[in-house]
Amino acid sequence: MKLIAYSLILAAALFGGATLSAQDHDVVINNGRVMDPETNFDGVRNVGVKDGKIVAITEDAITGKETIDATGHVVAPGFIEGHQHATDPFSRKVNLRDGLTTQMDFEAGAGDIAKWYAEAEGKTQSNYGMVMLALIARISVLDGPEIAALGNDMGGLFAHTVKAAAVKAEKEGRKPGWTATLPNKEEMTEIMRLVDEGLRQGALGVGVPVGYMTTGVTQYELYKYQELAAKYGRVTNGHVRFAGVRPPTGGQLGIQEMLANALVLDAPFMASHLNSNMDWEYTIPLINDAREKRGAKVWGEVYPYVAGSTIASTDVITEAGMAQMGITYSDVANLDGTRWDKAMYEDVRKNDPGRAVLIYINPEEDIVKWMAQPGVVIVSDGMAIQDENLEYYPWDSPYEGKSVHPRSAGTRAKVLRMVREDKIMPLMEAISKMSYLHAKYFDELGGISPFRTKGRVQVGADADIVVFNPDTVTDNSTYKPGEGALPSTGIPYVLVNGVVVVKDSEVQKVFPGKPIRFPVQEKGRLDQINIEPRIFEPNQ
């Protein structure tokens, strides 16, 4: 009955029965082409916002304290992403210029969840959320808590923690524990205790980037992460263990492992950047079929670039890994554009293991193919925008002069430009893959209820809104040195929880972002699973 009542109210609002249109609103968006991907509504309407919610969608004239003329523009749901690593204020500012209103990191995450959310409260312009990063738990146990404390999320992790772990390991004549050590029962129990604490503190799930720990994480350990997350009903995120198509380490490994676990556990699983595993023609239909034909709580994501970005010490670009992918040293580049050779490979991996690098691994013509795949969501996998010392830029820093993968700044505008220029998919589908489909999966599959009112332009929905010009919206960031953070244009207005955060293409210094988080629980759930890994001796 609630659904029927809601549907009647929605229909009345969308098609002219605007009972709330006479009231004064906080913000009014007039004459825009309203596009709602859940209902496929597409029509010119006026939108009224009050107290952070959409309260009117009507053909009638409405007034408000602030008015936006959206003539010639699309009024769409604010874009959502679960794979944006950059959580510093400047990077969030750049993402707002690209229409991103809800920004989370599910692939990686944070180590101290309570601290991460506390530091973001009242200081964040977009909505924010985080999973517990199993990798940091491994660093804490296998390399030392003092090492893990150097970086609480991916930006700090890459900048400081990975290098410190490598330095300590070299002094002790071993490989970094987090990436290469097979934990014994005592170690694994402590790793799982830290992961459990993150979940107890309200983390949205568990991030397990197994491709960075190919020789250190067993299939048993993967299963235990997913089993623990399933006790909370939360998402586990992971990606390929290897990249490439050559057996026995083909690009589907990792995806297959975690998909099998998800099916057995009836647990949600989100597969990261399926386009960059070089086996996407297989893994995307695999994930889609598991969800659509078997009812599995699984989905996958892609991004619209041929190059990936990662850290120099990743297992992906060992010499064996590069051979597996059919690439060589020169297919790897520093952010200043310098291509690697063998000498640079050896120097950087040893002396600067946390350095961000680019890896050119996919043909340009494949972008359209994976973007058009049904069921996938579009993400950026954006990296933190940092200086040469791997420090964050201040919020008011200029956009020019920043070297980073262009996906950190231009992902959504690039998709909209490709819709216009290359006809890669209908505009409504592109909007859905960047907003509604995320919300649908996070809510219905991942159990994250705040998304029931996101990703939609409907009465009662959260007023996270992006206003863009479909004829001019353009990504300006490039791979060239100094051009990685150039902001997207053609997106003049962005609202977060009813507050205008981007006005006339200028980001305002307001902080309406709200946390996406589960309630903190009194007790963890580690006692609901058994941990019995094989006992590994040192150097075994």
Flag whether 523 is in a domain: no
Rounded distance between C-alpha atoms, residue 94 and residue 45, angstroms: 29
Q: Considering the domain boundaries, does residue 534 fall inside one?
A: no
Q: Of 429, 449, 469, which one is at a domain's C-terminal end?
A: 449
The identity of residue 264, as a single letter, is V
Q: What is the mean pLDDT of residues 413-442?
A: 98
Question: Which secondary-structure segment (H or E) carries 414?
Answer: helix 407-422
Confidence of residue 23 (pLDDT cuts 50, 70, 90): low
Let me know if residue 240 belongs to a domain.
yes
How much is the pLDDT for 352? 87
32-36, 154-158, 458-462, 499-503, range with the lowest pLDDT: 154-158
pLDDT of residue 391: 87
Residue recorded with tokens 């078997």: 294
Q: How many domains does the chain have?
A: 2
Residue 277, pLDDT score: 72
Residue 466 has pLDDT above 70, yes or no: yes
| pLDDT value at residue 536 | 63
Confidence at 4, pLDDT banded by 50, 70, 90: very low
Rg (CA), the chain: 23
Residue 530 domain-assigned (yes or no)? no
Domain check: are 340 and 277 in the same one? yes
Residue 437 has pLDDT above 70, yes or no: yes
**Is there a contact between 484 and 409 (Cβ–Cβ < 8 Å)?**
yes
List the single range of 164-173, 402-411, 422-431 with lowest mean pLDDT: 164-173
Q: The domain that contains 374 carries what CATH number?
A: 3.20.20.140
Report residue 13's pLDDT band, with 50, 70 and 90 as the boundaries: very low
The DSSP code for 267 is -
- pTM listed for this prediction: 0.93
Region of poorest pLDDT, from 46-55, 67-76, 185-194, 239-248: 239-248
15/146 same-domain check: no
Asked if residue 401 is part of any domain, the answer here is: yes
pLDDT tens for each residue of 216-231: 999 999 999 999 999 9
**What pLDDT, on the 0 to 100 scale, is given for residue 363?**
84
Please say if the pLDDT value at position 20 is more than 50: no
Lowest mean pLDDT among 43-52, 104-113, 237-246, 375-384: 237-246
Domain boundary among 449, 484, 502: 449
| Across 471-494, average pLDDT | 97
Is there a contact between 381 and 273 (Cβ–Cβ < 8 Å)? Answer: yes
Least-confidence region, from 60-74, 152-166, 453-467 = 152-166
| 241 in the same domain as 103 | yes
- The DSSP result for 163-195, as a single string, is HHHHHHHHHTTS--HHHH----HHHHHHHHHHH
The tens digit of pLDDT for each residue in 50-103 reads 999 999 999 999 999 999 999 999 999 999 999 999 999 999 999 999 999 999
- Mean of pLDDT over the chain: 92
pLDDT attached to residue 356: 86
Which segment of 295-304, 350-359, 434-443, 489-498 scores lowest on mean pLDDT? 350-359
Stretch 375-387: mean pLDDT? 94
d(CA 357, CA 483): 15
**Number of H-type helices and E-type strands within the chain:** 18, 21
Within a domain: 526: no
pLDDT (tens digit per residue) in 325-374: 888 999 999 988 899 999 999 999 888 888 889 998 888 899 999 999 99
pLDDT at 155: 78
pLDDT tens per residue, range 37-61 = 999 999 999 999 999 999 999 999 9
125 alpha-carbon distance from chain centroid:
16
User: Chain centroid to CA 411: how far?
Assistant: 12
Tell me which of 394, 426, 449 is where a domain ends. Answer: 449
Q: Is the pLDDT of residue 169 over 50?
A: yes
The conformation of residue 297, written as its DSSP 8-state character, comes to S
- One-letter amino acid at 114 equals A
- Average pLDDT of the segment spanning 526-535: 91
Contact 491, 115 (CB under 8 A): no
What's the confidence (pLDDT) of residue 26?
Answer: 98
Exposure pattern of 421-446 as b/e (b: 16+ CB <10 Å)? eeebbebbbbbbbbbbbbbbbbbebb
Q: What share of the chain has pLDDT > 90, as a percent?
A: 78
Q: Average the pLDDT over 173-194 and give the result.
A: 95
Residue 18, pLDDT > 80, answer no
Question: CA angle at residue 226 from 220 to 230, to 5 degrees?
Answer: 140
Across the range 321-325, mean pLDDT stands at 84
Q: Inform me whether the pLDDT recorded for 210 exceeds 90.
A: yes
Q: Mark whether 355 and 334 lie in a shared domain.
A: yes
* 3-class DSSP assignment, residue 281: helix
pLDDT score recorded for residue 21: 43
| pLDDT exceeds 90 at position 509 | yes
Q: Do 186 and 322 reside in the same domain of the chain? A: yes
CATH, residue 28? 2.30.40.10
Asked whether residue 122 is assigned to any structural domain, the reply reads yes
- Give the SS3 label for residue 57: strand
Q: Are residues 45 and 192 in the same domain?
A: no
Distance CA 284, CA 320 (A): 25
Mean pLDDT calculated for residue range 295-324: 90
Phi and psi angles of residue 279, each rounded to the nearest 5 degrees, phi first:
-135, 30
| d(C-alpha 93, C-alpha 86), whole Å | 10
Buried/exposed 290-302: b ≥16 CB within 10 Å, e otherwise: bbeeeebbbbbbb
Q: Are strands 127-133 and 205-208 parallel, antiparallel or unpaired?
A: parallel
| Greatest pairwise CA separation for the chain in angstroms | 74
- Domain check: are 34 and 96 in the same one? no
Residue 471 CB neighbour total at 10 angstroms: 10
455 inside domain: no
pLDDT at 251: 84
Residues 416, 372 within the same domain: yes
Residue 5 pLDDT > 60: no
Q: Same domain for 363 and 484?
A: no
What is the predicted pLDDT for the residue at 537? 58
Same domain, 385 and 436: yes
Indicate if 285 and 326 belong to the same structural domain: yes
Are residue 89 and residue 152 in the same domain, yes or no?
yes
Which residue segment(s) compose the domain that 399 sits in? 79-449
